[in-house]
Structure 1
Amino acid sequence: SYPLETVILDGSNIAWEEKNNSNKPQINNIEAMINRLSRANFKKIITVADAALRYQIDEQKRLDSLVREGAMKMLPARVDGDKFILRIAEEENAMIVSNDMFKEFRESTPWIDERRIPYTILDGEVYLHPTSVLPSVEIGSRENKERKENDNTFEN
């Protein structure tokens, strides 16, 4: 369980995490992440991707369907996706699912580490790494605190 009810997905980062046999980013990754986070009690899931992803993704029609259904937002060309994700996360008071460290924004957004949820996609399965979320804030039960201290656990 996470402290905030909204989550922003870095769609481009997620699509590229586990490439297909042709070395292309996969729409399956994004769909698997949306499904995984729906089960993690987030009330609102916002998926954002750079404009270029539409031309790189393995299945453009499925990506277009997600956009049409409102499950995903494609940013206009030349819009900085990272900056937009951080802006929306701040405005919506949201967590961020991304393996991007957002290094160039650390000074202006010191809360990144508290809200970023890193992940792994292995054979299509999504693993969230909540041990790095909110390290200095005590949330939940004693069991949660003990789990945080055991650094090698995954939440799946």
Structure 2
Amino acid sequence: MPLRQAATIAKAAVHTMGFDRPNSTVTAAYLGIYNASLARVATTANLASTWTEEHRIGGSLTPYALTAPASLAAGGYYVAILIRGTGTSVPYLAAANWSGNATTSAARAVTTSGMYRWLQTSSTSLTTLPATLTLGGMVESTTCYWAAIG
């Protein structure tokens, strides 16, 4: 996501469409911010036991505090979402699916900055957000989750 001017960021947010926390199977849930070099610059604490329960039509914006505010320079950043759980008792997040018509690959570089619009890790064993990510560890995805920083 583009950050047009330097800012101190204290929260990351996603749009939760639904979540039944009393029946949750979530064991780890983190939001993090990565710079254009895929180095982590901020993260939340584990949100597994505090993710906001959601049952309203249309869901809601769910912001979460970072463990420490991050002073970010203007530039491109990624918001990472890690949710580990089983079955359907995990947060259902707002997303767009770009698998139809002319768009066959969602992970396309943005021409003005060289940043990818969205990526998905091929790892199935992460329990926390790593300090760094690599493009080689990513796969192209046709699902884009909504996220914000502030």
Q: TM-score, normalised by structure 2?
A: 0.27
Q: TM-score, normalised by structure 1?
A: 0.27
- Which of the pair has the greater relative contact order for Cα pairs under 8 Å at 6+ separation? 2
Normalized per residue, the structure richer in helix is 1
Normalized per residue, the structure richer in strand is 2
